[in-house]
Structures are given as C-alpha cells and as structure tokens.
Amino acid sequence: VWKVHGPAQAILVGDALFALANEVLLELGTVEAGRAARRLTTATRKLIDGQAQDISYEHRERVSVEECLEMEGNKTGALLACAVSIGAVLGGADDRTADKLEEYGYHLGLAFQAVDDLLGIWGDPESTGKQTWSDLRQRKKSLPVVAALAAGGPACEELGRLLAADAKSNDFENFSEEEFAARAALIEAAGGREWTAEEARRQHAVAIRALDDVDMPQRVREQLVALADFVVVRKR
C-alpha cells in the first residue's frame, strides 16, 4: 500500500486494521477476548515505543548495545510475542502458558531482528529487496553498528570517526558504494558482524528453551521450533 498509494494511505490502512483487530477480538464477548485484546494493545504500545526509539537513534552519535536491544525488543520482540500468545489465550490457555509462549515469541523477535540487521548491511539486494548497505544509508544504529562501536580497538575508533563525520556531512546521500563498503568492512573488522550473528543464535536458544515449559502436542512444538530455525538461518 505504501509503495502503490503512498505513506498517508498506508498509515490510514494500518490504523484501520488495528481497529478491526480489536473489533474482531471484542465481538467474541468472552473473558478470553478481553485478555487477548489487552495483550494486543500492550504489544502495539511497545511497538510504537520501539519505532520511536529507532527513529531517534538515527540522529544520535552513539547508542549502547543495551539501548539497541531494548528498542528491538519493543519493536519486533513485542510483536512476535503477541502473535504467538494471543491464539493460546483465545483458546483458553492460562496466563502461565500464554506468558511462556510470549517469552518464546519475544526472544524469537530479537533473533529475527538480529538477522534482519545483518541483512540490512550485508544482505543480497535481490533477496532482501533493499539497496546495498541499506541500513548504513539510513544511518541506522543497528546491532552490528552499536556492537562494533562498543568493541574498542583501531577499527572501532576509525568507524566512530567516520560515522561522526557522516552525521555532519551535507553530501551523505551522494556517498559512493566504496564509501559504504568501507564502513561495512570496519564494522566487520571491529567484530560487529560476528557479535550480531552470535546474538541471533543466543536469542534463538532462549526462545526454544521457553517452549520446554509449555504442555503442547509434539507436532505443534516441532512447528514452533521449525519457525525459529527458519528465522535464524535466513539467507544472508
């Protein structure tokens, strides 16, 4: 909708879908519907917080790893946490079961976002549909960038110097492919790429462990594990 009809219409469609989702839930008129609607609205609030953080970080010179993980937890973690738990709530699951599924979804969201951050710098444009060095072009403080800036060492210092200069540049949009490639190489040399890949694997493992405490058919568990595996091994 954004591409065909523009941002204004896309935002209105998003608002309409959110209102419709709440209508669909509340039409059930059950206790479970109220619990599900609360989870949906809480997740939406967190998602908005995360998106606001993401935008504000583009204009900051430095962002900590902890701040980045908090932002991605709000933005992507909350969304998948809601998506995984809300069906269980509507099916009559107790809060403990729903909370464990929410935990799975939250950490799966962090794993997804870590992989997405890798793709945002090193992904194949034909696979991602984004420009080369997409996140660098938008000055995003994604996990590979903040991890590299926190690492210390010569590559970290040079990267910090370049990014600080970029923020003041009037010609940033006209940078060459080589200039973006040089920044990506410094992020990798400082360890940002490997740290983020390892964080994706760690969040994946935490998500899978959350399922151990949920009583569910083995077939369902296998499907949730397969979904988590797909998130982490996406082509990059």
Per-residue pLDDT of 21-64, as tens digits, reads: 999 999 999 999 999 999 999 999 999 999 999 889 888 888 99
DSSP per residue, 88-112: HHHTT--HHHHHHHHHHHHHHHHHH
Predicted confidence (pLDDT) per residue in 176-208, tens digit: 999 999 999 999 999 999 999 999 999 999 999
Q: Which tokens belong to 114? A: 């870590």
Q: pLDDT averaged over the chain?
A: 93
111 has pLDDT over 70: yes
Q: Decide if domain 2-232 falls under CATH 1.10.600.10.
A: yes
pLDDT digits (tens, 9 = 90+) for 59-93: 888 899 999 999 999 999 999 999 999 999 999 99
Kindly tell me the burial class for residue 182, based on how many C-beta atoms sit within 10 Å of its own C-beta (0-12, 13-18, 19 or more).
Answer: middle
